[in-house]
Structure 1
Amino acid sequence: MTAANSYIVLTEGLPPATIAAEIIKQLPHYAPTLLNYLDQSKSDMTAIDLSQSRCTAFEYWQVNQAQFSASTAKHNAALALLLAAQQQNLSKLASDRPFWLVELVHIAPARDGAALIPAKDLLISQEQSHDLLRSAQALCEGTPFQLKPWSATHWQLLSDSDLPLSFASSALVSRTTVNDWWDQDPNSRDWRRFVNEIQMLYFDHPINQQRQQHGYPPINSLWPVGGLCPNAWQPQPASSVQIFTELSEPALRQDWGRWLEQLRMIDQQLAPLLVHNPSLMLSNTTHYQTLQAQPKRVWHRFIKPTPVWRNHWLAQS
């Protein structure tokens, strides 16, 4: 059950402006339940300056929901603390020490620059993570860095160096190129050197040989996440959120036919949830749209309210 004042989130549920007009034409057939709710809703659209947020619109929204203030740092710096809060691990952290995680990723040359595959798309087992961590820890000797276990997809990074709070989120990097976000700050020189050594270590690592034999991309690099001290920001409990991610893969592949089929299946699940009038959040990389059903008025029987969401959807401004 979805309670009042909760959110239903459709990641990549907001088609980019280039395809939005065509998608709207298809909604009556594929998503009549969602369409009816949208037509009754108040709409707001938020555009994200990626050069400032250094994370996707969905990540930006999540951090804002946890009452983060942009005056503290850019939104990307808050992502590690947000993850720790979601995993109920904040109490384990030193309050006055920058909290960093590193994410296990795959980086490979691409036509427009190096491409990154984030951990969530790599199917990393706990055993694989443990073996790779043990190898990396041996490499830490003589460097300013230490690595500690955290999860199958992330490790905690401890450092004597003051790393800059400028590393873009892996989700954003995966939608663009590594070259767009590879930090050349002098303060990250030691980190770049360390990552280069990690990449050489993992090139023919037994774990990666096994992964490639089974058709999986090698885990060949680490990507930093976070950098804020817990005493700079404590994520606040947000409203209840139910997240549908099924639209993300077809949207990122620009497979709009499959996107619509996935939306059809989501639409069938929405009917019992929308009875409770939750807020909706639809996102793409650079924008998110929030919608809240308006109370029905007597005059709505005679004059239908203007569905402003369509203008927002099409203009995305």
Structure 2
Amino acid sequence: MIHKDYNSNMDIVISGILPHSSIAAELASQAAKAAPSLFQKLENSKGTVHLLDPGETGCTPFEYWQLAHRQFTPAGQQNYAAGLGPLYAPRQYNRDQPVWLLELAHIALGAANATLLTADDLVISESESLALFESAQVVFSESPFKLLQFDTQRWHIEIPPDMVLPSLSPNLIASRFVYDWWPQDTASRPLRKLINALQVEWHEHPVNLARRQANLPLINGAWVFGGATPAQLQPAPTANPPRILQQLEVAHRKQDWGQWLAILANLEQDVFSALPANKNGNLILTGYDRLVVVSADAMPAWLCKLLNRNHKWKDWWCQ
């Protein structure tokens, strides 16, 4: 667990900035050219690496940071992704009520596997979500789950109290193949049946017929996650809130490194060029399975160069 007060000293959180290890070394020089101000700061700062196994946390490192920032503590058999239920809940719920969410998604079937697009990728309208919500009522009535409340991207559902389900973030699932994460245990059988029934119900739904005609990805699936209670999250601190930059996330998730470099260059112009003035703040950088906290070096940059002191950011960048 990361013991760090991320809310102090004007910290900046940049999600999706650490490339996958398979491409990181190749991208290092290109990234440094796209954002020279940022990488100059990395050169003269100390980076502390936190390896976060997605198989254990059930969520992305950025989501892990969000939950750590709210002092989330898993209970019992919960993983960190259980906290995403109350974290992403669109409205206030009973503090002691487990919050499970169903996120609308697109599941693309391939020859040997499937990929998932999250609700953020689909640009879902409120009317589309409401129409699908109404059609899902029958499917839920024939399952042990209860459909409670509607929101555009995510619906609040209820899980039987004696049912133990894994919680995995849709953002994590979208970064890999669905079948790598698809629960196969006996306890998850009702959930698999529910999701399969929704896919059948929505296959020829008017919403998807219209989306197909408009050449938009279909809303043909869903992902269920959560399970923690709002009481397990603390209110977000209001003093010196961190600045959060999420512009790189989608390109990182899709591993579209050309687009990623273009966005990085835009961030250089809009944000990173002012970073040297942010002497007291830390940078929190996240990727697929890592979180790096970059703290300002006590020595000025010119003295580091004079003493040939180098923290070798490429060592942890390419880790």
TM-score range, shorter chain: 0.7 to 0.9
Separation of aligned partners in 1, 2:104 and 2:316: 37
Aligned to 1:258: 259
Separation of aligned partners in 2, 1:308 and 1:70: 35
Kindly indicate whether the alpha-carbon contact (under 8 Å) linking 2:130 and 2:150 is maintained by their aligned counterparts in 1: no
**When the two structures are superposed, what TM-score results if normalisation uses the length of structure 2?**
0.87
| Deviation readout 1:223-258 (Å, 9 max, x if unpaired) | 112011334x12341562333333233334444333
| Deviation readout 1:46-83 (Å, 9 max, x if unpaired) | 11122211112221222122212356521111111122
Aligned to 1:272: 274
Aligned to 2:3: none
Q: What is the CA distance between 1:179 and its match in structure 2? A: 1.3
Q: What is the CA distance between 1:217 and its match in structure 2? A: 1.2
Separation of aligned partners in 2, 1:131 and 1:263: 38
How many residues matched?
A: 307
Aligned to 1:46: 50
Separation of aligned partners in 1, 2:155 and 2:276: 38
Counterpart of 1:175 in 2: which secondary structure? coil
| Cα distance change on mapping 1:268 and 1:130 into 2, 3 Å | same
Kindly indicate whether the alpha-carbon contact (under 8 Å) linking 1:144 and 1:161 is maintained by their aligned counterparts in 2: no
Q: What is the CA distance between 1:182 and its match in structure 2? A: 1.6
Query: What amino acid does structure 2 have at the position aligned with 1:7?
Result: D
Q: What is the CA distance between 1:264 and its match in structure 2? A: 1.2
Aligned to 2:315: 311
Q: Which runs of 5+ in 2 are unaligned?
A: 1-6
Kindly indicate whether the alpha-carbon contact (under 8 Å) linking 2:248 and 2:263 is maintained by their aligned counterparts in 1: yes
Q: Which runs of 5+ in 1 are unaligned?
A: none
| Cα distance change on mapping 1:10 and 1:301 into 2, 3 Å | closer
Kindly indicate whether the alpha-carbon contact (under 8 Å) linking 1:43 and 1:309 is maintained by their aligned counterparts in 2: yes
Kindly indicate whether the alpha-carbon contact (under 8 Å) linking 2:31 and 2:264 is maintained by their aligned counterparts in 1: no
- Once the two structures are overlaid, the 10-residue window that deviates more, 175-184 or 197-206, is 175-184
Aligned CA RMSD, in angstroms, stands at: 2.4
| Cα distance change on mapping 1:156 and 1:253 into 2, 3 Å | closer
Counterpart of 1:166 in 2: which secondary structure? coil
| Deviation readout 1:268-314 (Å, 9 max, x if unpaired) | 12223552333212222111212121233595474253224332112
Identity of aligned residues (%): 32
Indicate yes or no: 2:66 matched with 1:62.
yes
Query: What amino acid does structure 2 have at the position aligned with 1:76?
Result: A
Query: What amino acid does structure 2 have at the position aligned with 1:13?
Result: I
Q: Which runs of 4+ in 1 moved over 6 A?
A: none
Match of 1:75 among 73, 80, 95: 80
Indicate yes or no: 2:203 matched with 1:203.
yes
Matches within 5 A, 1:77-226: 77-84=82-89, 89=91, 92-226=92-226
Kindly indicate whether the alpha-carbon contact (under 8 Å) linking 2:149 and 2:157 is maintained by their aligned counterparts in 1: no
| Deviation readout 1:174-210 (Å, 9 max, x if unpaired) | 1112212221333332222222221111010001111
Aligned to 2:298: 295
**When the two structures are superposed, what TM-score results if normalisation uses the length of structure 1?**
0.87
Separation of aligned partners in 1, 2:258 and 2:108: 28
Kindly indicate whether the alpha-carbon contact (under 8 Å) linking 1:165 and 1:226 is maintained by their aligned counterparts in 2: no
Q: What is the CA distance between 1:169 and its match in structure 2? A: 1.0
| Deviation readout 1:119-159 (Å, 9 max, x if unpaired) | 11011001111111111123322432221334210000023
- Once the two structures are overlaid, the 10-residue window that deviates more, 199-208 or 62-71, is 62-71
Aligned to 2:17: 13
